[in-house]
Amino acid sequence: MTDASSTAQRPGGDRAPLRVLFFCGEQSPWGRAHLRPLLEDPRVELAGVVLASETRWAVFREKLTGEPARASGALGRARQYVGRKLGRREDHAGDVRRLLVERDVPLIFSHSVNAKADRRRFRDTGADIFFSAAYPQIFGRLLLGLPPRGAYNSHPSLLPRCRGAHPVFWAIASGERRSGGTIHLMTAELDRGGIAAQQEVPLGDDDYHADLYARLVRAVPGLLRRFVDWLLLPGAELVPQDDDRATFFTNDRREDHRIDWAGMDAARINRLVRACDGNAFFSVGGEEILVRRISAPGPGQGEPGRVEAMDGGRPVVAAREGLLTIEACEARHGGEAVFEKGQTLLDEGEGPQ
């Protein structure tokens, strides 16, 4: 599929609403943000909303964290981790379901969207398109081939930049200068389908993960309007992605959050702390220190990892190519992190090789 075919016409020439089956990742603010704009657009009729089963979300959490979620303790930790990642509140899934019941929108629960029985249910909705936002499963070829006008996904980056997992984290951590949302045709190759709509949002040098994520969520209604405009434009064509400009990332794991004072330059450490939004860490004396806030790199130099000065109780630490002030931090297992001038914030075995 490379263009938007014309929609059905009502008697008298009025355009019939576009029937959309929405695969909603309701445990994600990004996923939820698409629901009301779809409900309120008179050009759209929701043929149904697909929500993932709790079992499917558990599988997703395991993949997200890399930790087995079988034991209740591990599952609890995984939920807390995902909650920090997605800004989730426990009652949001219930809010979505109540809203759909109030609006009399068909609700479909699925453990595997690629299962034959579920594909049959989706086909029988008569949807013109399938549309996904933060849904916790990759769509297979047979599912993608069902809707007559294609299946689309809403991705929180300016594709082809930051394809793959956790684009908000990686946009900051990898040094992107701008961000945004993209709605693209889903294909067998993840996040590589042609672009139907994009909306840029600013990404500042002082933005933390929560800042950028909130800005992206606020941009969703405008992004969806552009997408529906495109769908209803006769002969509209998808914009191919430029693979030469593409970046791709996998799930960020624990080691991706580790600050390496000796191996990273100051700008990279600053980006990492902002991308982690409170979960970047380093180890010293066998204790892990979580860095909540950090200043932008300042001039000066010193031995990487050494506390060069104390500024009102805040350590000014040397990294490669600059100095950084740790504005807020704490020990991972509780208690205050105490520093002194001349201290080296490297654990045993760290440092220049």
Residue 169 lies in a domain: yes
Domain-ending residue, one of 249, 272, 289: 249
State the pLDDT at residue 286: 82
Nearest to residue 45, comparing CAs of 63, 75, 25, 21? 21
Q: Whole-number mean pLDDT of the chain?
A: 87
Do residue 30 and residue 62 come from a single domain? yes
Do residue 104 and residue 198 come from a single domain? yes
Alpha-carbon gap, residue 69 to 59, rounded angstroms = 8
Largest CA distance in the chain: 81
SS3 221: helix
What average pLDDT does the segment 327-343 reach? 88
Report CA dihedral (94, 98, 104, 106) to the nearest 10 degrees: 10
Residue type, 295: S
Q: Is the peptide bond between 160 and the residue preceding it cis, with omega within 30 degrees of 0?
A: yes
Residue 304 lies in a domain: yes
Do residue 295 and residue 162 come from a single domain? no
Whether residue 54 contacts residue 44, with contact meaning beta carbons closer than 8 Å, is answered with no
Do residue 193 and residue 326 come from a single domain? no
pLDDT above 90 (res 122): yes
Do residue 149 and residue 35 come from a single domain? yes
Name the domain count of the chain: 2
User: Which residues does residue 183 pair with via DSSP β-bridges, in sequence order?
Assistant: 154, 197
State the pLDDT at residue 338: 86
Q: Which of 78-82, 91-95, 168-172 has the lowest mean pLDDT?
A: 78-82
Do residue 46 and residue 93 come from a single domain? yes
Alpha helices in the chain (DSSP H): 29-32, 35-40, 54-65, 72-86, 92-102, 116-123, 141-144, 167-173, 209-231, 266-276
SS3 294: strand
Confidence band for 299, pLDDT divided at 50, 70 and 90? confident
Neighbouring CB atoms inside 10 A of 222's CB total 14
pLDDT above 80 (res 210): yes
| CATH assignment of the domain containing 119 | 3.40.50.170
Write down the pTM of the prediction.
0.86
Residue 141 lies in a domain: yes
Residue 12 Ramachandran class (φ > 0 left, ψ -120 to 50 alpha, else beta): left
pLDDT above 60 (res 341): yes
Q: Which of 39-43, 46-50, 152-156, 301-305 has the lowest mean pLDDT?
A: 301-305
Domain that holds residue 93: 18-249
Confidence band for 68, pLDDT divided at 50, 70 and 90? low
Structure tokens at 319: 């990294």
Structure tokens at 60: 């997703």
Nearest to residue 110, comparing CAs of 44, 168, 55? 55
Whether the CA torsion 97, 108, 223, 171 is positive or negative: it is: positive
Residue 6 lies in a domain: no
